[in-house]
Amino acid sequence: MTNKRVRFHRVVSYEFALGLNASAIPLEHGPSIGLVGPALHIRTSKIKKKQTHSFKRSSLRRYDKQQRLQLLQEAGVPMKEIVDFCVEALDIRISRSSSRRKTSKQRSYLVARNTEINENANITYN
């Protein structure tokens, strides 16, 4: 087996503003906060040979419900708007949940259907 390597010579960093974002719906209750608008800053820099092994993998920064509420309050968003955002996020979570159940039921039906077809056709898989 041959070892394959990939090398990168440049890294590009994009910085965005933080704000209300319907595509960043949290799994728990609370308003949705995520990256909004176009990139505020774009930085490109070279990667030196010695740097290639020094990068540490990091995870996405997630805010809990209290932190999200605090961010909005500090930004001067009125409490009524925050509540409206929470209700909107809840509606989206409910909608996504019901569509996942439908998809799961459809898959279960298709698996059962295909299994029955294969059994009736005397098809065996080794």
pLDDT in tens, 56-108: 666 677 788 888 888 888 888 888 888 888 888 888 888 877 766 666 666 77
Q: What is the pLDDT of residues 33-60, one digit of tens each?
A: 888 889 999 999 988 776 555 556 666 7
Please state at what angle helix 79-120 crosses helix 65-74, rounded to 10 degrees.
140
Contact predicate 32/64, CB 8 Å: no
Enter the tokens of residue 59: 């995870």
Q: What is the pLDDT of residues 9-26, one digit of tens each?
A: 888 999 988 887 766 777
Domain count, the chain: 1
- Look at residue 126 in the predicted model and tell me its pLDDT: 45
- Look at residue 33 in the predicted model and tell me its pLDDT: 83
| Nearest one of 73, 63, 13 to 34, comparing CA atoms | 63
Length of the chain: 126
Residue 126 lies in a domain: no
| pTM of this structure | 0.52
Residue 62 lies in a domain: yes
Residue 5 lies in a domain: no
CA distance 23 to 32: 8
Residue 3 lies in a domain: no
pLDDT reading at 2 higher than 90: no
Residue 18 lies in a domain: yes
| 3-state SS assignment for residue 21 | coil
User: Residue type at 92?
Assistant: I
Domain that holds residue 25: 10-48+58-120
- Look at residue 105 in the predicted model and tell me its pLDDT: 67
CA distance 75 to 67: 12
Residue 29 lies in a domain: yes
Residue 125 lies in a domain: no
